[in-house]
């Protein structure tokens, strides 16, 4: 039987588990300031994460999906986004979003149960999509944004979207890649393969040996990267975005890491996760990976790393303050429930709006 | 003025709006070279190009989801789903995507999208090609749902739908796609949404319908007129949000209502209309509210479909029942 | 007799039926090792094995479609969808697959399937986790739709659903998953479907509800009793097909009806109930039919959700309005 | 970048376009009686097709999807089905269905608009699914049937399903393959790549160079066959079914042919098909392919081939007679609309059943 088509999936890593460079570093990674910046951003991510979880435990926030162990995926990908690019994130995309310009307090608002958290105020991200909770739906929105860019001949723009490895079992993921392939859309899709879909391990999602190979079904370029190595993530996503911006079409990138936290604050991973596997994964985690590298290189000192932590905590605290200030001193009026349903509220619904406002007023007046 | 069928009016409206607004694009299965399986997009690709009349891969979720993304960028996609029976894969994107984006982002992003689809039975089509499930859309906040009952309304309402800044589900009653012709000026005049049309004035009973069954409803009104029963006939046209005041006014006058729908009776749009009347105009009623509807059964295949659908005699029978009530 | 919560009763029913019927299997996302995100399947995999309590890949259309195939082979799958907000990808398979196979094959193949899903708001869950769209299922011929309002009903109705030879959508009101405990004998006694429960007898007004809002409805009835208004309270339990005779009997007695639903008002199940009454018992009514419902808005995020939902005061206000009517 | 996974798609053909054997024939193909049988079955398929279309033109049948040019795909696949296997067909699966034991007049009934056409009476096919019109839904049903077989330890059974190349763009197709892969289900999926999805050519569905490679996204064995070569189809499907029956898991097979007819009787392919491409495709069509081979081999004479045509016409006519007899002399009672909705009709719906029966009676009595 003659072979009529053949395919390969490659794997990209720059820093190995011991923070040793195993490949010639890409140019950007020769800039230790830039790397230190990435380190700080990952540290901010982790700090925000811990803080959000503590807020949730104190009953001051809703369910929150942590990103522990996945900081390199979000920070590395998000750092590749330019002013004209559009991010279409998934619910665990906080770090990607922040990299592009979403304010951390907006994320707190969203997960705290306030819709204004998706009304990103930074002009740079006004076109970005809000968090997608229904899994895989975001991939199609991303393909749609990319279709608009292509239809309007906007070279120089591209779309980044992300999904969990579990989400790749949804048909809409595949439909999005397929249309991106056949229309050669400026789309990059990053799979955060954190090994778990809530309690279901990656090997129970698919018989595939890689998640990257799912791109072969769409005829698009597909590769794997070490998702604990922010240099590898940034390099792969950066090149893919650049390719997309210049008309080269879509790319699928699987970033392999490990979800070191519970699925969300509503979950308890100890029910299903193997402590040993988790222990092993801790040894590979992205902050240590890059921190050790920078220290070994002499670019930063251990002491500086500790100072960064203090800075990160302060920065997070500022965001938490804005969050509290907003929900406590400036809550949404109840009529807001109706104010963004349509450009103009239908006649039929106006009485309902009045009712909810009147009821609220009455309740406040001590009814 | 061209004399056109309902489906030609649909084409005319899309053509008009594509000509004046470059953000308007048409996409769907077979809408391009083939001009649509019903020919609703006939000639549009030749005229407006392959970039604006786009044959998509075969995937309805994709068509809807892609449209949400395009619309969020300010384009105005008109997505065709080939038959209402095949809208279900797209339902997720319509409900969780299109209907919500404006609300979710407090107005930052919006979805000026029209999803067109032919619906209803009576053309001896294969399985899954004849259903009427408009009620599923009508229950979803954030959507508008519109259906025309004549060529002029198809033209005017589709223009309104395309120009509407929010997602509109535009349901085309395929049984009457080519049933009648009407003179229509291609003048770009839209009809208002959320507005019922009173197609016949009368005093004894209010008949409310939409889409293809407007045809049987008007025929029934004719027959009943011969028997001395004067029917007021209302085409709701916009299924959601409903223009209840027009219906209420009529009910105040007649005191009797019969609602005619092709969809399965239980949980149909007719139930909502009846519920609204029983909440807001109960005391105007002098007889029970009649509903003539498709049965609570699965739309039968061609050989039996006529038994399923509301025929004129079912409407006249129901009206007489309501009239005889005392 | 064990004293259990509603969710424990759900587990108990599945456990019971898996123990006596080897064709019963449970499948869904995280139902196995994790015991379900709400723990509804807690302990089932340990007891019945990985082959009968199956963690699936993450794809709702797949879960539903697979279940149709399994059921056609005579298995009795209980599929869990994690939240009602994520049922949309599965809707195609439920409507075009599960609901129709018996009819399509003239009874040759059938689909003894239960699709379970938690629904409703009030637990401060994230976006898309709090909706109530039971009306979408209730409009589909071929489906049955059931929701319990107490642990005992959860146990009895779920057993009935599993034993039913046709597809049943079993909606679990998650807000009351752990609200009350009840003593239940694990005796395998099923409750009848298509049967309303009269939870409180009364003369002045009939309150009709289902699921979680039964809680507020009964509280409202208590309050109203203090004010001298006697409410009859009905839990419809089976949303489709509806047991209207029980409701009709009550309406004949009281002449007044208030329907309470958490879902958006327009096109909800309450509209169907109101429509049926206005068709068949209009002349028993001495006041307009009241509907207390979720607003025609998108379920707000946690901070505002309480304003969206029918609270006790909204029910008592509506009842008083209906009582004051003249 | 190291390669972490690689894949190949191979192509199987035994008889080339000139009916020359290009490979050692599989054992079954050395039996010329068997091949002659396959020829006759394909001829029956084609004859039925033409007859169904003429019935439709005369207004005596509904929309009909022809199988012209695709007879080898259906007959070849269907001939691999055993008593214990289950077929989950798509709407263009008539020939596969007939091979397994569905009566041709049942298909006429179905497309003629009578539900009884899906109540297959042959015990051999009582478990087969009816035709799936909503594209790709059947793949999941098939995976479900296969799941039941596996759960019950029924080795020796397998499921065959089929889909058009256009249908592979639907997410449910991919979801079915993915679960079949990870659960190692006894499932074979055949893609009838007839080059067209109504008016949309295959190259507008996907950027993939083969449809077979879509199986790589599910981690399952995938190959291409010449769909005009019934020997290749039968060989590939037969081996895949055998593998599935013995616990070897799923296979995806793309069979390449050409839709030589309109999409259905409601379509006019001349609006979009290129006459030259069609002309070329006619030269490769499956009946000619096998017929010439058998004649060249001396296994049958040209005269015999003509006799087969007469036989086929007679056989088809018998089926048409049963069809007419059924719809004219034994139509379904109108109450049937309600009789199979549920095992037992709900109380709420009983009055509707009585109404439709009463109305029908009144209408007949000349109301
Ligand atoms: C369509 C849909 N189904 C189910 C869920 C519930 N759910 C939320 S997260 C999750 C697991 C997702 O795992 P994965 O895709 O690997 O992403 P991760 O959470 O690991 O980042 C599930 C099942 C959902 N949000 N959307
Ligand atoms: C979900 C769904 N969408 C759309 C259709 C309408 N439709 C019927 S056949 C067809 C084209 C299918 O092409 P392909 O999958 O290549 O199969 P073929 O008809 O060529 O055998 C379409 C779009 C359908 N039946 N189901
Ligand atoms: Mg994951
Ligand atoms: Mg095809």
- Please tell me if residue D134 touches chain A, with a CB cutoff of 8 Å: no
Measured between beta carbons, the chain C residues lying within 8 angstroms of A134 are 85-86, 88-89, 128
In terms of DSSP bridges, do strands B24-28 and A251-256 run parallel, antiparallel, or are they unpaired?
Answer: unpaired
Task: Name the residue with the closest Cα to ligand 2, atom 6.
Answer: B82
Q: Which domain holds residue D348?
A: 336-365
CA nearest to A45, candidates A20, A64, A26: A64
Given A51, A100, A157, A259, the catalytic residue: A259
Positive or negative: CA dihedral D68, D69, D72, D78: negative
Answer with the residue of higher pLDDT: C90 or D364: C90
Measured between beta carbons, the chain A residues lying within 8 angstroms of D172 are 171
Same domain, D263 and D318: yes
Q: How far is the CA of D176 from the centre of ligand 3 (A)?
A: 20
Same domain, D238 and D341: no
Q: How far is CA A130 from CA A92, C87, C130, in A?
A: 12, 21, 18
Same domain, D125 and D161: yes
Same domain, D153 and D125: yes
Q: How far is the CA of C66 from the centre of ligand 3 (A)?
A: 23
Residue D239 lies in a domain: yes
Mutate which: A204, A350, A364, vs C, most C CBs within 10 A: A204
Question: What integer is the mean pLDDT of B185-193?
Answer: 98
- CATH code of the region C197-324: 3.40.50.920
Give phi and psi for D218, each to the nearest 5. Answer: -110, 0
- Please tell me if residue D24 touches chain A, with a CB cutoff of 8 Å: no
**pLDDT of res. A367:** 57
Residue A1 lies in a domain: no
**pLDDT of res. A12:** 98
Topology (CATH level 3) of domain C3-183: Rossmann fold (3.40.50)
Question: What is the total count of domains within chain D?
Answer: 2
Residue D96 lies in a domain: yes
**Which residues in chain A land under pLDDT 50?**
none
Q: How far is the CA of B121 from the centre of ligand 2 (A)?
A: 19
Distance between the two ends of chain A, CA-based, in angstroms?
81
- At B144-181, the pLDDT tens digits run 999 999 999 999 999 999 999 999 999 999 999 999 99
Same domain, A261 and A350: no
For the annotated catalytic residues of B, the residue numbers are: 129
Structure tokens at A336: 């807001």
Q: Which chains touch B (3 or more CB pairs under 8 A)?
A: A, C, D
Residue D151 lies in a domain: yes
**pLDDT class of B22 with cuts at 50, 70, 90:** very high
Same domain, D31 and D179: yes
Q: What residues line ligand 2, using a CB cutoff of 6 Å?
A: B 29, 58, 60, 82, 86, 89; D 92, 133-135, 164-167, 192, 194, 196-198, 259, 263
Name the DSSP letter for residue B288: P
- Please tell me if residue B70 touches chain A, with a CB cutoff of 8 Å: yes
Give phi and psi for A276, each to the nearest 5. Answer: -65, -45
Structure tokens at D225: 């066959």
Tell if the CB–CB gap between A141 and B106 is shorter than 8 Å: no
Q: How far is the CA of A212 from the centre of ligand 2 (A)?
A: 29
Please answer whether residues A88 and A246 qualify as being in contact, where contact means their C-beta atoms are separated by less than 8 angstroms.
Answer: no
Q: How far is the CA of D134 from the centre of ligand 2 (A)?
A: 8
Cα Rg of chain D (Å, integer): 22
Mutate which: C68, C241, C247, C271, vs B, most B CBs within 10 A: C271
Query: Average per-residue pLDDT in chain C?
Result: 98
Measured between beta carbons, the chain D residues lying within 8 angstroms of B59 are 169-171
CA distance C16 to C78: 13
Task: Name the residue with the closest Cα to ligand 1, atom 13.
Answer: A197
Which residue in this structure is represented by tokens 């009964």?
C218
Same domain, A302 and A358: no
Residue of D nearest to C107 (CA): D340
- At C145-162, the pLDDT tens digits run 999 999 999 999 999 999
CA distance C81 to B242: 32
pLDDT at D292 over 80: yes
**pLDDT of res. B115:** 98
Tell if the CB–CB gap between D208 and A217 is shorter than 8 Å: yes
- Please tell me if residue C66 touches chain D, with a CB cutoff of 8 Å: yes
CA distance C163 to C170: 13
Q: How far is the CA of C178 from the centre of ligand 1 (A)?
A: 24
How many whole angstroms from its chain centre is CA B127? Answer: 21
pLDDT at D293 over 90: yes
Question: What integer is the mean pLDDT of D135-148?
Answer: 98
D364 as an active site residue: the answer is no
The length of chain C, given as a count of residues: 326
- Give the position, in ligand 2's atom list, of the atom nearest the Cα of D167: 15
- At D61-77, the pLDDT tens digits run 999 999 999 999 999 99
- At C224-270, the pLDDT tens digits run 999 999 999 999 999 999 999 999 999 999 999 999 999 999 999 99
Establish whether this prediction's ipTM goes over 0.95: yes
**pLDDT of res. B1:** 85
The string of DSSP letters for B196-264 reads -EEEE--SSEEEEE-TTHHHHHHHHHHHHHHTT--EEEEE--EEES--HHHHHHHHHHH--EEEEEEEE
Structure tokens at A332: 């949404």
Give phi and psi for A9, each to the nearest 5. Answer: -115, 125
Shortest alpha-carbon distance between residue D213 and chain B (Å): 17
For chains B and D, CB pairs below 8 A equal: 114
Distance between the two ends of chain D, CA-based, in angstroms?
81
CB proximity under 8 Å: D 211-230 to A: 212-220, 223-224
For B303, residues 6+ apart whose C-beta sits below 8 A from its C-beta are: D112, D113, D114, D327, D331, D332
Shortest alpha-carbon distance between residue B93 and chain D (Å): 13
CA nearest to A187, candidates A228, A244, A115: A244
Same domain, D239 and D122: yes
Residue D287 lies in a domain: yes
Q: Mutual orientation of helices D104-112 and D302-324 as an angle, nearest 10°?
A: 50
**pLDDT of res. A1:** 84
With 0-12 / 13-18 / 19 or more C-beta atoms within 10 angstroms meaning exposed / middle / buried, residue D274 is: exposed
Same domain, A350 and A260: no
**pLDDT of res. D367:** 57
pLDDT cut 70: percent of chain C above it: 100
The length of chain A, given as a count of residues: 367
Residue D177 lies in a domain: yes
The CATH 3.40.50.970 portion of chain B extends over 3-183
Please answer whether residues D39 and D291 qualify as being in contact, where contact means their C-beta atoms are separated by less than 8 angstroms.
Answer: yes
Name the least confident of A326-335, C7-16, D261-270.
D261-270
Q: How far is CA A328 from CA A332, B15, C125, in A?
A: 10, 51, 20
Ligand 1 pocket test target in A167, A173, A227, A273 with most atoms within 8 Å of CB: A167
Mutate which: C97, C266, C301, vs B, most B CBs within 10 A: C266
Measured between beta carbons, the chain A residues lying within 8 angstroms of D1 are 10-12, 223
Positive or negative: CA dihedral B79, B83, B85, B89: negative
Residue D2 lies in a domain: no
Question: What integer is the mean pLDDT of B190-215?
Answer: 98
CA distance B81 to B69: 17
CB proximity under 8 Å: B 212-271 to A: 241-245
**pLDDT class of C182 with cuts at 50, 70, 90:** very high
Structure tokens at B133: 């499930």
CA distance B243 to B325: 27
Kindly report the CATH number assigned to the domain that includes residue D280. Answer: 3.40.50.970
Question: What integer is the mean pLDDT of D133-159?
Answer: 98
- At D208-221, the pLDDT tens digits run 999 999 999 999 99
Measured between beta carbons, the chain C residues lying within 8 angstroms of B264 are 139-141
Give phi and psi for C114, each to the nearest 5. Answer: -115, 130
Measured between beta carbons, the chain B residues lying within 8 angstroms of D131 are 127
Which residue in this structure is represented by tokens 């039929």?
A348
Residue A2 lies in a domain: no
Cβ density class A145-162: b for 16+ within 10 Å, e for less: bbbbbbbeeeeebbbbbb
């Amino acid at each position: 039987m003659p072979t009529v088509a053949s395919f390969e999936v490659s794997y990209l890593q720059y820093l190995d588990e011991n923070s040793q460079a195993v490949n010639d570093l890409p140019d950007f990674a020769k800039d230790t300031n830039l790397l230190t910046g990435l380190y700080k951003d990952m540290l901010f991510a982790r700090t925000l994460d811990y803080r959000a979880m503590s807020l949730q435990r104190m009953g001051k926030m809703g369910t929150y999906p942590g990103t522990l162990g996945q900081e390199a995926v979000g920070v590395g990908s998000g750092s590749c986004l330019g002013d004209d690019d559009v991010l279409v994130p998934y619910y665990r995309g906080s770090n990607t979003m922040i990299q592009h310009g979403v304010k951390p307090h907006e994320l707190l608002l969203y997960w705290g149960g306030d819709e204004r958290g998706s009304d990103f105020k930074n002009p740079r991200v006004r076109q970005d999509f809000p968090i997608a909770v229904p899994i895989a739906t975001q991939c199609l929105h991303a393909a749609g944004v990319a279709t608009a860019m292509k239809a309007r001949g906007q070279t120089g723009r591209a779309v980044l979207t992300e999904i969990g490895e579990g989400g790749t079992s949804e048909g809409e993921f595949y439909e999005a890649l397929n249309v991106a392939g056949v229309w050669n859309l400026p789309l990059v899709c990053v799979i955060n393969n954190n090994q778990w879909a809530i309690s279901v391990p990656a090997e129970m999602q698919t018989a595939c040996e890689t998640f990257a190979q799912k791109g072969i079904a769409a005829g698009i370029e597909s590769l794997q990267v070490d998702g604990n190595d922010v240099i590898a993530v940034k390099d792969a996503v950066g090149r893919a975005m650049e390719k997309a911006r210049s008309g080269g079409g879509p790319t699928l990138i699987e970033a392999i890491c490990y979800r070191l936290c519970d699925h969300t604050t509503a979950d308890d991973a100890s029910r299903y996760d193997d402590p040993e596997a988790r222990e092993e994964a801790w040894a590979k985690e992205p902050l240590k990976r890059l921190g050790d590298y920078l220290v070994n290189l002499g670019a930063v000192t251990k002491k500086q790393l500790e100072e960064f932590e203090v800075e990160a905590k302060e920065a997070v605290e500022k965001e938490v303050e804005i969050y509290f200030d907003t929900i406590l001193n400036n809550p949404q009026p109840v009529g807001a429930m109706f104010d963004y349903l349509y450009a103009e509220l239908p006649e039929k619904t106006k009485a309902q709006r009045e009712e909810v406002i009147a009821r609220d007023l009455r309740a406040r007046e001590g009814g | 003025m061209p004399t056109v069928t309902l489906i030609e009016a649909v084409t005319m409206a899309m053509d008009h709006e594509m000509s004046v607004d470059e953000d308007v694009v048409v996409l769907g299965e077979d809408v391009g070279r083939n001009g649509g399986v019903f020919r609703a997009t006939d000639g549009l690709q030749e005229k407006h190009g392959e970039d604006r009349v786009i044959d998509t891969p075969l995937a309805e979720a994709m068509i809807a989801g892609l449209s949400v993304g395009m619309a969020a960028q300010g384009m105005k996609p008109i997505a065709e789903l080939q038959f209402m029976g095949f809208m279900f894969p797209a339902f997720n994107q319509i409900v969780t995507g299109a209907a919500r984006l404006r609300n979710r982002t407090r107005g930052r992003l919006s979805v000026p999208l029209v999803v067109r689809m032919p619906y209803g039975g009576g053309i001896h089509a294969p399985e899954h090609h004849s259903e009427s499930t408009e009620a599923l859309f009508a229950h979803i906040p954030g959507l508008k749902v519109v259906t025309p009952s004549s060529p002029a309304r198809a033209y005017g309402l589709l223009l309104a739908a395309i120009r509407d800044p929010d997602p509109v589900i535009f349901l085309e009653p395929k049984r009457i796609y080519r049933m009648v012709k009407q003179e229509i000026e291609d003048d770009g005049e839209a009809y208002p949404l959320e507005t019922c049309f009173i197609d016949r004035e009368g005093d004894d009973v209010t008949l409310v319908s939409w889409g293809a069954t407007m045809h049987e409803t008007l025929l029934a009104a004719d027959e009943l007129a011969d028997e001395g029963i004067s029917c007021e006939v209302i085409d709701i046209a916009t299924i959601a949000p409903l223009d209840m005041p027009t219906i209420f006014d009529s009910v105040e006058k007649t005191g009797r209502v019969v609602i005619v729908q092709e969809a399965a009776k239980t949980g149909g749009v007719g139930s909502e209309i009846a519920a609204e009347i029983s909440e807001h105009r109960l005391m105007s009623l002098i007889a029970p509210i009649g509903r003539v509807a498709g049965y609570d059964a699965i739309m039968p295949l061609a050989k039996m479909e006529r038994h399923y659908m509301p025929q004129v005699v079912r409407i006249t029978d129901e009206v007489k029942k309501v009239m005889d009530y005392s």
